[in-house]
Structure 1
Amino acid sequence: MTQKNKAFEQAQFSHVDQQGKAAMVDVTDKLTTQRTAVAKGKITMSAHAFEILVNNQHKKGDVLAVARIAGIQAAKKCSDLIPLCHPLMLSKVQVDFELMGNECAVEIESMCKLSGQTGVEMEALTAVSVAALTLFDMCKAVDPSMVISDIRVVHKQGGKSGTWQAN
């Protein structure tokens, strides 16, 4: 082994090979464990757009139902969207919305779960992101100035690192 290869192995980059090229992490030897991730995000809109959403009066139909399906579908397609992300056999994807009247905002929460060798944080984040983008797409005629924000992982469980909870 060359000196360069030894130094590279010591650096332990997870997504590049010995030649510095992008590579998918090998999870073959990782233990299969129950893994869960929860992500959240928010879309804030005008009072008028929020009122139409709350009263389910959008011309495009039930935007929350469509956004929920979009989020679930996105979690299932995460590896097609994010380079080097492992395709996963998700056992559960849930997308929920909390209507926050005082902020004229919708909080989006997703939960992804599986029994596998790698975590599901990216799937949960993708579900929230696409649900928010779908809400934006369906409501932009009423309010093109909506803001998508605060997309983050708030909880993960399973794997070698165990349980993590955001503060």
Structure 2
Amino acid sequence: MRAVLAGEPGFAAELVWPAAEPLLAPLVSPPLSADEAEGLDLILEGFLLHHGRPRHLAPSEPGREVLAGDYCYATGLVRIAAAGDLFVVEALADLIALGAGLVAAGEREGLEPLWRATTLAIARRRGPAEAETAHRFLEAQGALRSAGDAGPLAALAAGLPPTPPLAEALAA
């Protein structure tokens, strides 16, 4: 991801050093493809630029957070969409929208389960538990949408290793 950002005019000077390690892709099995992992990390950075503590970029001028965040969202979604998997594209679009809704409602505690469960659902969509995970994930998203309940997302992601750096970045 840093190579993508470093290659863009105007972003290289705003990169944060040292490089931050990916937070989400290493959590899941089966592993994400390289494009999925990079796309997910770009989307996370976009979200953090808008709603948290960015890990890779430190915009040098006020207001550039939004532009840099939009760039990261778009670049991440392009990488993900290139694989042609509509489930992943929809899951990540919902992730961005639901996450922004949680921030607007002042319910930031739901952000970490949302990110972790989405990553798990993306990884497991090709595995032996594909149908069950997708069904549980869609139900959990529905519970968040309709009742603001992040509990089912947290339950879905409960088996993943802890991610304190993610919690810190999302806490803002």
TM-score scaled to structure 2, two decimals? 0.29
- Which has the larger helix fraction? 2
Higher relative contact order structure (alpha carbons within 8 Å, sequence separation ≥ 6) = 1
Question: Which structure's CA Rg is the greater one?
Answer: 1
- Which has the larger strand fraction? 1
TM-score scaled to structure 1, two decimals? 0.30
